[in-house]
């Protein structure tokens, strides 16, 4: 589900005037409908201000809708990524800055954001019309090439942060806004018969203004947000054994199960009965490749490794469908806590590749029956072995036939253009250049240099 605002911090215990801010870098990022920033780790605080366009922003495990005038904060040590949503141009200002806190001993850099009172800006911020013009001014002075003007950009950046803090409404002693109260009410009572008029009364504004302000603030209409809350809760209930569609519809706020079915299919893409069938077996995917194998077999894992940086594709598309999230941080760093999670989740079966050491295998097998897929096998063989174990061989064969047809069509389009040319395909990440070791590419480019040496 989309989370359109970060969890609300408690009242700030430290006054903002005890902090010192220093701008480190500033970018003005422009992109079309194909533009994206891959998930990356923030070394310092990052402030995003959207001048125009629409898109999506991932901050840690939360996803936000980018829209004109919106402002977002990512703390150091957090992850962020973004992508444009429509063909229209997306323009974002990205400020990277350090925060220092004054103490009796001097100044200390604020890095640990776990304390709720450590810094009065997190997550999404209510739009402010003056922020964009301030961004333009900071950008102009920052890139002037003159030291004195860059110093002035630091001063204007302080004003920008002040406007952001004021919009965020986190000054000492200030309570949550009425609009936030209405949104929180939706999140708590989404299964009731809520109306715009009722929510507007909670927000203490007119229904028309409530509709406009909610969309402007959170980037989604109140009705669409309510639908997301209901359908995501329905997905959770569908994972339970012996779940009945009629009961689920009533529990999430729909009296008519047929209307619920139509709404679910329109939003999710498949009928709820089909969705429930795919989730009937509680299968844990203990390795990342297993997630793809199960999805190819039209089976949604009950538990899987998910992280916005390390498994961004699966996290983005399936995090609300997968009931139990295992840590995918740095691939297998948290394997012990993952097994503890599985011990409590009690899956019907665990599927893993077999390159685990003896201790990890012994611990994993305590969580339930485990099927090991040989790591040395290629991806096609692994898929077929997983399918055979689950009794889904026909589904795997059908998927492979579809895949082979797509490869054949791709080659037919490329070969006339490339003829007998040889290819060396590399992956560039930050300042590192690596040879792409992919058998998938070799199936399309017959003269792809898979094992060539790369000299830099």
- Cα(68)–Cα(187) distance, rounded to whole angstroms? 25
Q: Cα(139)–Cα(196) distance, rounded to whole angstroms?
A: 41
Q: Measured between alpha carbons, how far is 355 from 285 in angstroms, rounded to an integer?
A: 14
Phi-psi region of 69 (alpha: psi -120 to 50; beta: other; left: phi over 0): left
Q: What angle do CA 100, 59, 324 make, to 5 degrees?
A: 125
Looking at 1.10.10.60, 3.40.50.2300, 3.40.50.1000, 1.10.3720.10, the CATH number of the domain 178-278 comes to 1.10.10.60
Burial status of residue 142 (CB atoms within 10 A of its CB: 0-12, 13-18, 19 or more)? buried
- Domain 283-393, what fold? Rossmann fold (3.40.50)
- CA-CA distances (angstroms) from residue 453 to 182, 256, 449? 60, 63, 9
What CATH number matches the domain at 16-168, 3.20.20.100, 2.60.120.280, 2.130.10.10, 3.40.50.300?
2.60.120.280
Distance of alpha carbon 250 from alpha carbon 131, whole angstroms: 44
Q: Which of 27, 39, 131 is nearest to 83 (CA)?
A: 39
pLDDT value at residue 451: 47
* pLDDT value at residue 97: 93
What is the chain's pLDDT, residue by residue, as a tens digit (456 residues)?
444 444 433 434 456 777 889 999 999 888 766 677 777 888 888 999 888 888 888 887 777 778 777 788 888 888 888 888 765 678 899 999 998 887 777 777 776 544 444 455 555 666 566 788 899 999 999 999 899 999 999 999 999 988 877 766 543 333 346 888 899 899 999 999 999 999 999 988 899 999 988 887 777 899 999 999 999 899 888 877 788 999 999 999 999 999 999 999 998 888 999 888 877 788 999 999 999 999 999 898 999 998 877 788 888 888 888 888 998 876 667 889 999 999 998 999 999 999 999 999 999 999 999 999 999 998 999 999 999 999 999 999 999 999 999 888 888 887 787 777 777 778 776 668 877 766 566 666 655 544 444 444
Give me the pLDDT at residue 113, please: 45
Residues 6+ apart with CB under 8 A from 419: none
- The Cα–Cα gap between 166 and 170 comes to 7
**The pLDDT of residue 34:** 65
CA distances from 249 to 143, 268, 279, 318, 320 (A): 56, 15, 17, 21, 17
Q: What are the domain boundaries of the chain?
A: 16-168, 178-278, 283-393, 420-456
pTM as predicted: 0.60
Instruction: Please count the residues of the chain.
Output: 456
Quick one: CA torsion of 85, 86, 88, 94, rounded to 10 degrees? 0
Pairing outcome for strands 426-429 and 324-327? unpaired
State the Cα–Cα distance between residues 242 and 185, nearest whole angstrom. 30
What is the torsional sign of CA 32, 33, 34, 37?
positive
């Amino acid at each position: 589900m989309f989370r359109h605002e970060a969890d609300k911090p408690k009242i700030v215990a430290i006054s903002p005037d005890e902090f010192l801010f220093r701008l480190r870098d500033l970018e003005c990022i422009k992109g079309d409908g194909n533009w994206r920033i891959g998930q990356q780790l923030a070394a310092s605080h990052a402030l995003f201000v959207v001048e125009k366009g629409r898109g999506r922003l991932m901050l840690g495990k939360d996803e936000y809708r980018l829209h004109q005038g919106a402002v977002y904060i990512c703390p150091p040590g957090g992850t962020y990524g973004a992508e444009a949503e429509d063909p229209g141009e997306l323009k974002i200002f990205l400020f990277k800055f350090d925060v220092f806190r004054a103490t009796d001993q001097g100044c200390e850099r604020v890095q640990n954001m776990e304390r709720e009172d450590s810094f009065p800006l997190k997550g999404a911020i209510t739009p402010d019309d003056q922020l964009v013009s301030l961004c333009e001014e900071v950008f102009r002075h920052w890139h002037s090439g003159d030291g004195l003007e860059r110093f002035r950009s630091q001063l204007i950046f302080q004003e920008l942060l002040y406007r952001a803090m004021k919009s965020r409404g986190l000054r000492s002693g200030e309570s949550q806004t009425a609009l936030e109260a209405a949104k929180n009410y939706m999140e708590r009572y989404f299964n009731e018969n809520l109306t715009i008029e009722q929510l507007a009364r909670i927000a203490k504004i007119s229904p028309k203004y409530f509709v406009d302000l909610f969309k402007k603030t959170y980037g989604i209409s109140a009705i669409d947000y309510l639908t997301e809350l209901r359908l995501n809760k329905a997905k959770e209930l569908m994972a339970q054994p012996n779940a009945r569609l009629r009961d689920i519809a009533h529990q999430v706020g729909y009296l008519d199960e047929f209307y619920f079915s139509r709404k679910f299919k329109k939003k999710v893409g498949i009928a709820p009965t089909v969705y429930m069938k795919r989730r009937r077996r509680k299968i844990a995917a203990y390795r990342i490749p297993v997630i793809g194998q199960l999805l190819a077999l039209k089976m949604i894992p009950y538990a899987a490794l998910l992280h916005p940086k390390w498994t961004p594709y699966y996290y983005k598309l399936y995090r609300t469908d997968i009931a139990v999230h295992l840590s995918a941080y740095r691939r297998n760093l948290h394997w012990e806590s993952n097994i503890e999670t599985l011990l409590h989740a009690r899956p019907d079966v665990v599927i893993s590749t077999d390159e685990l050491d003896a201790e990890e295998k012994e611990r994993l097998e305590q969580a339930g029956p485990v099927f090991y897929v040989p790591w040395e096998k290629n991806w096609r063989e692994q898929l077929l072995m997983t399918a055979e174990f689950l009794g889904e061989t026909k589904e795997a064969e059908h998927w492979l036939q579809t895949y082979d047809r797509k490869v054949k069509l791709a080659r037919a389009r490329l070969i006339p253009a490339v003829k007998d040319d040889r290819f060396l395909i590399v992956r560039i990440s930050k300042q590192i250049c690596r040879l792409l070791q992919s058998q998938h590419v070799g199936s399309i480019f017959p003269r792809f240099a898979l094992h060539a040496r790369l000299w830099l």
